[in-house]
Structure 1
Amino acid sequence: MGNEQKQENLNNQNIQEQEPKQMMPYVDNQDMKERATRFGTGGFAAIIYAVVTTICLYKNAYGIMTVLFAAATIGFLYYVCSHAPQSKAYDNREDKTSNPHTMIYYIGILLLGVSIFLTGDRFLIACNYIGIYLLSMTVFFTCFCDAEKWGVGKYIRAVIGTVFSPLGYLFRGFSDCYVYVRQREKKKSKAIYVLVGVLIALPFLVLMLIVLSEADAIFKYIVDRSIGNLQLSGNLAGFVMMLVAVFVTVYGIFCKMVIQPPKIDCEEKRMVEPMIGITFCGLLTALYAVFAIIQILSPFLGKQMLPAGYSYSEYARQGFFQLLFVAAVNLVIVLVCNRAFAESRVLRTILTIMCGCTYVMIGSSAVRMLMYIRAYHLTYLRVLVLFGLLVLVVLFTGTIIYLYKNTFPLMKYMIVACGGLYIAFALSHPDTYIACYNLACARADVQTWMAEDVDTDDMEIRLIDLMQYDLQAGSADRTPAVFEFLEWAQARGIWTDENDDEAQSLLTYHSNLCTSRRGIRTFNVSTYRGKTALENYLEN
């Protein structure tokens, strides 16, 4: 019995020692395999994308390299979406019938990148980068989520949630890379050693590039012309920090989509009694109808119904922003009511009438703004306002279609239609047309003053007061128009003194805008055209 008991205890001890060795590696290996596979799919793509992005955009927000950045963004999105098994666009997926259509978003990203390269307008440049981000998120949502079922609110929630997603996966890129290296070491692959060699060689390449640039003036000139204002010796730390930040952000978003994509309940919940909506919307629509009739009778038909002491410009300025606010609120009301309340023909009819009244408000807002522009010329804000009104018309058109056909892809319509409008707006260079319009009005004023025999000094003072915004504001997009106007004015005896403060101030301002960007990497069409106009003016 004693020997049997000892043998049984020995067997139990061996089982306890063997169980962890059999079970724990299985769990760890499964997790390690998933992490290595994930890094193999998105990690190297994120590293390459971070390197290309940093080379393109480091201290170069709007050079020709933005086109390469846009192309790299498309390449990264296409690669990870077609190689991640969780994606609907996965290459090895058996069901190819539901492959998401993302080509139109890729085209939009490329056009936005081209638009950045063509303009010097900082506002447009910032909006273009935001547009590239939003279109990139749309590609991710289309491939990894059921985005075709999302409404406007759900899409906004998903975008906001994804903005902060890299924080939850801040060090995942480095830990997944470590796991991938360990897995590759077991397979005795030499590819990882090549990668390590490249990473070790990079700082030495940079060091030798700096040393050799100092050793030969011709080589230094070639390097400076090639990399523009990227001074490696002084900005290496910033370059590396940007590279790491881009990698962490991009890989964090990729991990979010693969591990925990936005899952938003898309179930229809139209259970609220429609009589509430009918009463609420009916009262508002009745008010809107009265207001719409007044708008039709006053500005549209030219009826002189203004209160005493009001000019048309004051009338336009007073009511425009209120009407714009009401139109935006009405869009939200129509969308929410259509989603929240149970199906009702009466409610649908009331919402349609509300949309019609809103069209009248938008038209009234446009007429008011055009009257104000006629009196006080164009500014960037006024152009943006007119563009916003056009976008509202497009959004309400899609909303009306959605009221009568719930299967209509409203969110995709909004992204494609509004995105297309914005790309057309960005490519049109609005700052150029603002300057051309205002300076054309100034030409007409000068012609009038000359016909009235106004003194030249007096005309100069009037022009300075009138054109301060147009001559010394805005971007490089307006530089050619400014110097064309300056030549025209000087041909008529205005600002002809070589030491004239206004002319010298214009030269200084636009010279700083257009001549600071040098090198192939930072080449920009707008600043090049401005520099050419400046040189032509100085030659003449």
Structure 2
Amino acid sequence: MIRLAIKNKLIIFSVVLSILFNYFFLFSKLGVSVLIFNIILLTIGYFCSKEVDGFSKKKYMIISVTILLLSTPFLRYDFALFKVFNFLLIIGMYGLIVHSIIPFNIFQWFLLTFQSLLLPLGKLNQLFLDLEIITTIKKKGFINVIVGLVLACMFLIFVVPILLSSDVVFNTMITQMVTLSLTTVLRKGFFRFFVFLFFAAYIYNHVARKINYVSIDTLYSPKRVFNITSSYVFLICIDLVYLAFSFIQIKYLFLGNQLPEGIHYAQYAREGFFQLVFISAINVLVVTIFNQFKKAHKLTNGLLLITVICTYIMTFSAFYRMSLYESTYGYTRLRLLVYLFLIAEAIALIPILIGIFKANFKYLELASISVFIFYILLTFLNVDAFIAVKNIERYSNNPHEINFDYQYLEQLSLDAKPVIEAHMSEYPVYIQTSFKRSFEEKQSNYSDLNWYEWNLAR
């Protein structure tokens, strides 16, 4: 029970913050107001929470510093994507404060977050958990094999079309093995099957009313998501596909062997990076889930190791393809973010790889913290200025061979203005005029800002 004194403080706390929120954010642009609001919120929150049983001052201070670091990009830059991510992470950090009396566990934290936002959708796996209980009771080996095959088919129906679209050689070899359009069949089949599973799971969960809190003991109990036989079948199926795909990457992309007739290396190497980024991210999730709930079997560890190695090959393939594409067409926000995402993914895979073979290794916490620190450091990067620098350097080194895409630079925020102005004398007159007009238009959008909407870029 919350004591009356604390409850009264929380009421006042809520009223004050509501007033500040309306003043700072309603119909206003985000700027220094985010940092000020969080300082006030954390200060008042500390005095309201310090008397609660189980309150940890050290944990509160660490999370508070993290929140303030995430608030600083709103003061420094106008890059919208970082603002969106930081806003979501700030909410997550406040979630840690709210549940500070619970020992931190990454699975439990995500579960609490999803349950608080989307309760019916937070337990869509209840149908499959109940089905797993049924198959365990029956204890028939062939059923576990069928379960593994079905799960593998579901996964590959989703993954294979993306792999086919990412690599033209892989696509050619696979389509030569079948008479029908495999991509079309798989996409239609996946869509129908996904819709069926989604509504079945949702209706089951809604009617059964089984939205319950999952304790940390349940997450680490001996109960496993997959039977060991099902796990073997699933991992063997996907690893066979990944090994075939990785072999093609090494042979044709990295070693530069002769491509099949009609396929040119320049086109082949500059396509498919977005698909590979997506697949590699899915693989990280798959390995993490299996690593969390698997039993300690050497074969399972070996299969997961193969998955991780293939994921690294896909990650490097995506990075290499993107570098070739970027060298031809220049930097954009999306292309830069692909690089950064791939680096973060490679960092996250290291503790996950260690966790496959080392029992009781807190790989998930270490991977999350490593990626989070990497992201925190990235928020101090002036993205638009970096893009402007790289594209201007690219043009300056080959002014007669490369078309200067000044129109894209005009789309960047005012964060890039100092870099562009520093090289203004190098541009033709019509480009200088266009840049100046663009800067004036952007600056006019901030002419009537309130003091709390100010940041360094404006």
The two structures have a TM-score, normalised by structure 2, of 0.70
Matched, 1:469 2:408: yes
Structure 1 residues 359, 504: closer, same or farther in 2, change over 3 A? closer
The one of 409, 413, 430 equivalent to 1:495 is 430
| SS of residue paired to 2:50 | helix
| Aligned counterparts of 2:294 and 2:368: Cα–Cα separation in 1 | 25
2:39, 2:68 within 8 Å by CA — same for their partners in 1? Answer: yes
Partner of 2:34: 66
Partner of 2:203: none
Structure 1 counterpart of 2:55, which letter?
A
Matched, 1:525 2:451: no
The one of 74, 82, 88 equivalent to 1:124 is 82
The one of 82, 105, 109 equivalent to 1:155 is 109
Matched, 1:295 2:253: no
- The 5 A counterparts of 1:58-457 are 58-85=26-53, 88-89=54-55, 101-141=59-99, 143-148=100-105, 150-151=106-107, 154-163=108-117, 263-264=214-215, 265-268=218-221, 269-270=223-224, 272-301=226-255, 303-446=256-399, 448=400
Partner of 1:484: 422
Deviations 1:182-224 (A, max 9, x none): xxxxxxxxxxxxxxxxxxxxxxxxxxxxxxxxxxxxxxxxxxx
Structure 1 counterpart of 2:457, which letter?
S
Structure 1 residues 104, 112: closer, same or farther in 2, change over 3 A? same
- Quote how far apart the aligned CAs of 1:119 are: 0.4
Structure 2 counterpart of 1:50, which letter?
S
| Aligned counterparts of 1:481 and 1:488: Cα–Cα separation in 2 | 12
| Aligned counterparts of 1:316 and 1:139: Cα–Cα separation in 2 | 47
Deviations 1:319-356 (A, max 9, x none): 21232232122222222323444321211122122111
Deviations 1:373-417 (A, max 9, x none): 011111111111111112211222222233234533344334422
Which has the larger Rg?
1
- Quote how far apart the aligned CAs of 1:125 are: 1.9
2:344, 2:374 within 8 Å by CA — same for their partners in 1? Answer: yes
| Aligned counterparts of 1:106 and 1:305: Cα–Cα separation in 2 | 56
- Quote how far apart the aligned CAs of 1:365 are: 0.8
| Aligned counterparts of 2:355 and 2:300: Cα–Cα separation in 1 | 14
Structure 1 residues 388, 49: closer, same or farther in 2, change over 3 A? same
1:391, 1:421 within 8 Å by CA — same for their partners in 2? Answer: yes
| SS of residue paired to 2:457 | helix
- Quote how far apart the aligned CAs of 1:357 are: 1.6
| Aligned counterparts of 2:40 and 2:454: Cα–Cα separation in 1 | 19
- Quote how far apart the aligned CAs of 1:428 are: 0.4
Structure 1 residues 394, 78: closer, same or farther in 2, change over 3 A? farther
Structure 2 counterpart of 1:521, which letter?
Y
Q: Which runs of 5+ in 2 are unaligned?
A: 120-211
1:118, 1:524 within 8 Å by CA — same for their partners in 2? Answer: yes
| Aligned counterparts of 1:473 and 1:415: Cα–Cα separation in 2 | 33
2:385, 2:415 within 8 Å by CA — same for their partners in 1? Answer: yes
| SS of residue paired to 1:526 | coil
1:338, 1:403 within 8 Å by CA — same for their partners in 2? Answer: yes
| Aligned counterparts of 2:225 and 2:27: Cα–Cα separation in 1 | 54
| Aligned counterparts of 1:34 and 1:59: Cα–Cα separation in 2 | 35
| Aligned counterparts of 1:496 and 1:124: Cα–Cα separation in 2 | 29
Structure 1 residues 424, 34: closer, same or farther in 2, change over 3 A? closer
The one of 444, 449, 455 equivalent to 1:512 is 444
| Aligned counterparts of 1:125 and 1:45: Cα–Cα separation in 2 | 25
Structure 2 counterpart of 1:66, which letter?
V
1:108, 1:419 within 8 Å by CA — same for their partners in 2? Answer: no
- Quote how far apart the aligned CAs of 1:281 are: 1.0
Deviations 1:101-151 (A, max 9, x none): 35433222111111210001222222221221112112323x133432x52
| Aligned counterparts of 2:10 and 2:361: Cα–Cα separation in 1 | 34
1:298, 1:305 within 8 Å by CA — same for their partners in 2? Answer: yes
Structure 1 residues 359, 496: closer, same or farther in 2, change over 3 A? closer
Q: Which runs of 5+ in 1 are unaligned?
A: 1-32, 92-99, 166-260, 450-458, 528-540
Query: Identity across aligned pairs (percent)?
Result: 20
| Aligned counterparts of 1:496 and 1:133: Cα–Cα separation in 2 | 42
1:378, 1:434 within 8 Å by CA — same for their partners in 2? Answer: yes
Q: CA RMSD in A?
A: 3.2
Number of aligned residue pairs: 364
| SS of residue paired to 1:342 | coil
1:105, 1:139 within 8 Å by CA — same for their partners in 2? Answer: yes
- Quote how far apart the aligned CAs of 1:477 are: 0.8
Matched, 1:49 2:2: no
1:56, 1:68 within 8 Å by CA — same for their partners in 2? Answer: no
Partner of 2:136: none
Structure 1 counterpart of 2:101, which letter?
F
| SS of residue paired to 2:378 | helix
Structure 1 residues 77, 164: closer, same or farther in 2, change over 3 A? farther
Structure 1 counterpart of 2:116, which letter?
T
1:112, 1:128 within 8 Å by CA — same for their partners in 2? Answer: yes
Structure 1 counterpart of 2:285, which letter?
V
Structure 1 residues 272, 416: closer, same or farther in 2, change over 3 A? closer
- Quote how far apart the aligned CAs of 1:34 are: 5.0
